[in-house]
Amino acid sequence: MIRESRPEPQTGRPFTDAEATYLAENFIGRVATASRDGAPHVVPVSYRFDGTVILFGGWNLTSSLKYRNLMSNSKVAFVVDDVVSADPWRVRGLEVRGRAELVTIDGVSMVRIIPLNIRSWGLGS
């Protein structure tokens, strides 16, 4: 269950410099949640990245399906990706699997994604 949290989050491995740069350069990702009975739900969200965790909110967040799903199942996946070139084919992206926590920042409800597993592709030099 998602819970209100104020302490600093505990994370898995830190983001590499390339991963952190990629997240900082983008602002739209897709978040996947699942209901208590496992029904999936994926939606685009705008996000903030502070170098350690990913935060997202949104208009009427606490009335959304993603929020209701997180209330009963705090597991979350988050993906940011793009196509750099179609010829030759080159894609890059990052997937974070983790745990979601409800936080309040300046009176606004947001979801903080605590990364437990990070996987990236195409971000190398």
CATH number at residue 81: 2.30.110.10
Is 3 part of a structural domain of the chain?
A: no
Is 5 part of a structural domain of the chain?
A: no
Is 7 part of a structural domain of the chain?
A: no
* Measured distance CA(107)–CA(41) in Å, rounded: 27
pTM of this structure: 0.87
Distance (Å) of CA 64 to CA 33, 60, 101: 11, 7, 15
Tens-level pLDDT at each residue, the chain (125 residues):
444 444 455 556 789 999 999 999 999 999 999 998 999 999 999 999 998 899 999 888 999 999 999 999 999 999 999 999 999 999 999 999 999 998 988 888 999 999 999 999 999 75
Is 2 part of a structural domain of the chain?
A: no
Looking at the 3D structure of the chain, how many domains does it have?
Answer: 1
Supply the range of the domain harboring residue 60. Answer: 17-121
Strand, coil or helix: 100: strand
Is 47 part of a structural domain of the chain?
A: yes
Give the DSSP H/E element, type plus range, for residue 1. none
Which residues does residue 120 pair with via DSSP β-bridges, in sequence order?
94
Is 1 part of a structural domain of the chain?
A: no
